[in-house]
Amino acid sequence: MILPPNVKMTPMLSQYVEWKKKYPDCLLFFRMGDFYEMFFEDAQKASEILDIALTSRDPSKSIPMAGVPFHAVDNYLGKLVKAGYKVAICEQVSVPDGKSLVDRRVIRIVTPGTYVPEEAGEEGRLASINLLNDDTIALAMLSVNTGCLEAGVLKKEEALSLITGFNPGEVLIPDTIKREDLPVELQNFFILQRTKEQFTPDGAARWLCKIFNVPALSVFGLEEGAFDTGCAGAVLHYLEETQFGAIQHVTRIYPLREKHFLHLDVASQQNLELVSGDGPTLYSVLNKCKNPMGRRLLREWILRPLLDQDAINKRQNGVEFLVQDPVVRQKLQNLLGECRDIERASSRLSLGTGNPRDLAAIRDTLLLIPLVYGYCKSSPLEKFISSDNSLETLSTLLASALCDEVPRHLHNGDVIRTGFNSELDSWRELREHGDQWLDQYLEKEKAKTDIPKLKVGSNKIFGYYLEISKGNLDKVPENYIRKQTLVSAERFITPELKEFEEKMAASEQEIASLESKIYADLVQHTLEHVQKIQDGAAMLSCIDVLASLAQVAWERNYIRPQINNGLNLKIEGGRHPVIEATFLDLPFVPNDIVLDGDEERIALITGPNMAGKSTYLRMAALLVIMAQMGAFIPAAEASMGLMDRVFTRIGARDELSRGNSTFMVEMIETANILHNVTDRSIVVLDEIGRGTSTYDGMSIAWAVLEYLDHGCGSKPKVLFATHYHELVALEDHLNGLKNLSMAVHEGERGISFLYKVVDGPADRSYGIEVARLAGIPPAVLKRAFHLLETFERADEVKPSGGVMETSQQIQLFPVSSQAIIEELAAIDPNKMTPFRALEMMYKITDQCREELQSHGNT
């Protein structure tokens, strides 16, 4: 940092500058009493981002200063890390004595990926990646919130979908990789380069084995020497570095393997609005969870549907039990609503940022686990739970040690329950009954001295004293020591009063010291059980999600889909879960989806816009995702083979920041689908080719259908909505394609949409009718109908042996006629003389006659 000239360096300011030089890339929060202060450039940046006052420490205003109260620091840290800043927390580590400079030390670094606030949110997510080749990525993902560390080597698309769904605050990469070399999906994240040595598999493996106290990482299911080991080591080393070794809550590594989860690429996550979007999402519809742990897990289940039929059935059994037993479901949800976020609480305690309320949250929740276990026992839910006596022992300890209601900050006192520690009790007894002791002592001294008006008092200078009027000075005992003379009285102290004063002065400090020590011991004892606490949290979150899915299923009449190993997809009376839940006052028209693995696996859907094509497509994808995450689905009946991938190309959007137009985005997403489909993929394509000219777009759509039918080497199930009605003739030429359409009712007042999918193609698109419904002026509609008739007479497109045949494109106006019209349009009659107007009339008349003669007219 560069100091302004003529700055007077006080000892405190020198201390600040010393720590700032050690952490130049961080904003330095410098603890001064009840505030964290910032100076110089840090103060200027923070005042702008946090919207706080910028003041000065000196009259010359050469030392800009800004500060935030320490008890509300979480709010300010959250704003700074969201803006991409790192913050070094420089704490006071010695007790101020008013004489010497307070010792200070940076105790942690808060970064966009490591910040874990007291209130639940999406903060505290780190990822690290290593690009192995064009098609493979090694990655590790660490949820600092929960201590969950995952690592694997995956295909590029699968790795990117996991990372974008994880939404890390920071992504670590080796310094051998340039930011611009990263896939575009990652370039909007905060990227941090680390030394390539931290990503070395062998070195990382040795360090991780030491951290986790295991002989080899194979105990976690990781392969020796694999690059994901290097990523896991890099991400955990970064957490240890920024939190100064506080990583006790990370207890193991979970392997990420291909084909563990149904693959949802980045585009599908966005197109289907699974967990985020401008409006309601699948997550918002399914979320009836009662605590933050369940809400986090529900989000994960949605983004990672299962590929294991037994695991899906296990979840479905749990949901079914809770649907059928509403009494148990309600009681469980009531208990789960009382549970606190113990994953987050234990992580904060491990990171050194926790407070007494985090410890109380663990106590309160551990006391509830046996009750939850009781309702799950002897039911399908029992497979999701485990009982552990060590947690019962811990909950008993915390219940006996902590007050029922604890303050947020330890220094506020009354954290440790009376009766837990006898020494603490004695000091509290002294503090709380000091007035009573003084009253008793005063009465005793009155009787002993025979001074009825003897008074007791205290002030900051002399402490406690006895005050005697001058008329009674002859009765003062020898052991009284004179301290102050007043006009009408004198003040004395006694050895007993002095001892009481010293005890009272020491009581607050002793109480604070003892509470601090007992609290630290309780935290340490709790962290010794952190893995068991995390296991308990996992059980509670799982039961919470199952109860949430059951509640939604019960409220909305969902059914249990049958999952099998076949290739068919059959849904009767399916309903779109988000639209149905959003428009509660309108009935939803159910539709069937029937696709097999061979002769009817491609459905070509035609019909007018706004008639429900996109809803139908999205419904199919969402119901597959819901079924494979273990949820019940909105349908009358459903059976389906396991899908391994859901691909969607829906909607129109630009990515101008990446130089991609709407059509380019459409083609990139379509290319990804065509390169990666399998026999167990479901592909949802909406209006392919609309971003370019009619014939270009139709040609692309045609070719895509042919490729999915017989050119890709696989037999995916496809739902293909289009406005190119010419494509319906492909049913006669492609073995796996069938035509579906959106039903429309035509009446005297125009058309109405029935939102029903029926067999067979639509006879026309009704685009102009839709324009009428939208309020387009009648003159425009009339002209459009005229042009449509012209096009339909003069231009046809039809398949012939798999080849597209077209007539020559018509011209709306002959070239010369167009020139006459343009010339007339350019005339301004107000600026023409009568002679010039007559001259122009003759000229145009001659041109029109020539035009008529050229077309054989007279």
| Binding site per annotation, positions for ATP | 607-614
Query: What's the mean pLDDT in 13-39?
Result: 92
Output the CATH code of domain 11-110. Answer: 3.40.1170.10
Token code pair at residue 268: 């599908």
* pLDDT greater at residue 661 or residue 706: 706
Burial class of 158 by CB neighbour count within 10 A (0 to 12, 13 to 18, 19+): buried
Domain ranges for the chain, please list them: 11-110, 125-258, 562-763, 815-854
Cα–chain center distance at 61: 42
Listed in sequence order, the residues at least 6 apart from 18 whose beta carbon sits closer than 8 Å to its beta carbon are none
What kind of architecture, by CATH, is found in domain 125-258? 2-Layer Sandwich (3.30)
Rounded CA-CA distance 573/648 in Å is 22
SS3 labels along 198-229: HHCHHHHHHHHHHHHCCCCHHHHCCCCCCHHH
Query: What's the mean pLDDT in 585-597?
Result: 90
At 657 the pLDDT is 44
| Binding site per annotation, positions | 607-614
Domain 562-763 listed as CATH 3.30.2130.30: no
Query: pLDDT tens-digit profile of 770-787?
Result: 777 777 787 777 777 776
Query: Per DSSP, what are the bridge partners of residue 467?
Result: 455, 491
557 Rama class: left (phi>0) / alpha (psi -120 to 50) / beta: left
Query: pLDDT tens-digit profile of 205-252?
Result: 999 999 999 999 999 998 888 999 999 999 999 999 999 988 999 999
Query: pLDDT tens-digit profile of 469-512?
Result: 998 998 989 889 998 889 889 999 999 988 888 888 888 888 88
Instruction: With a cut of 60, say whether residue 811 has pLDDT above it.
Output: no
Mean pLDDT, all residues of the chain = 87
Query: What's the mean pLDDT in 618-641?
Result: 96
Q: Which residue has the tokens 């003669």?
A: 853
Buried b (16+ CB within 10 A) or exposed e, 268-304: bbbbbbbbebeeebbbebbbbbbbbbbbbbbbbbbbb
Token code pair at residue 191: 């990227």
Determine what percent of the chain falls in helix, strand and coil, rounding each to the nearest 5: 50, 20, 30
Rounded CA-CA distance 189/299 in Å is 20
At 810 the pLDDT is 47
689 Rama class: left (phi>0) / alpha (psi -120 to 50) / beta: left
What percentage of the chain exceeds 90 in pLDDT? Answer: 55
